[in-house]
Amino acid sequence: SMTFALQHALLYPQRAEGVHTSLDFSKPLDLQFIPPSIDRFPCLRLAKESLEQGGSAPLVFNAANEIAVEAFLLNRIGFPQISDIIDETLSRYAHPYKNDLQTLLFLDSEARRIATEVIGTLS
């Protein structure tokens, strides 16, 4: 039942008491896992592509995602734009990779700068 999830989404940050039933762990649970649709969830596709590309692509993905989600939470962009910002940041950024902390921190800050720049063109 989606009752609790819908209640949580509609009433957040408040909570209604007694609307949902508790799980009875003495009874069998029916959990089904199905593969997610990468067409419906473009960020999953981008994450998978970043992992397959390797190098600093996953780092760039993560930095762009954090910046985009923050912009969404601040009502600066719409939810569908999160994946657009990640995609554009990944496409603008060369993915050199050197495995030392200083370089990784620099790459992270550059990816965040690019994502912020992309958001600026959308806002």
CATH number for the domain spanning 64: value is: 1.10.1740.10
Instruction: Name which of 66, 87, 68, 90 is nearest 78 in CA terms.
Output: 68
CA atoms within 13 A on the CB side of 75: 0
Domain enclosing residue 49, as ranges: 37-122
Determine, yes or no, domain membership for 44.
Answer: yes
If you average pLDDT over residues 25-50, what whole number do you get? 91
Distance separating alpha carbons of residues 122 and 55, to the nearest angstrom: 28
Determine, yes or no, domain membership for 91.
Answer: yes
pLDDT (tens digit per residue) in 64-95: 999 999 999 999 999 999 999 999 999 998 76
Give Cβ neighbours of residue 95 (< 8 Å, ≥ 6 apart). 53, 55, 56, 57, 60
Residue 80's identity, in one-letter code, is: P
17 near 1, Cβ under 8 Å? no
Count of structural domains, the chain: 1
Please tell me the pTM assigned to this model: 0.74
Tell me what pLDDT residue 52 has.
Answer: 94
Instruction: Name the residue with tokens 């009875």.
Output: 24
Determine, yes or no, domain membership for 22.
Answer: no
Determine, yes or no, domain membership for 104.
Answer: yes
Confidence of residue 14 (pLDDT cuts 50, 70, 90): confident
Tell me what pLDDT residue 122 has.
Answer: 87
Residue 21's identity, in one-letter code, is: T
Distance separating alpha carbons of residues 114 and 90, to the nearest angstrom: 9
Which position has the higher pLDDT, 100 or 6? 100
Tell me what pLDDT residue 10 has.
Answer: 79
Determine, yes or no, domain membership for 60.
Answer: yes
Tell me what pLDDT residue 67 has.
Answer: 99
Determine, yes or no, domain membership for 20.
Answer: no
114 near 93, Cβ under 8 Å? yes
Determine, yes or no, domain membership for 31.
Answer: no
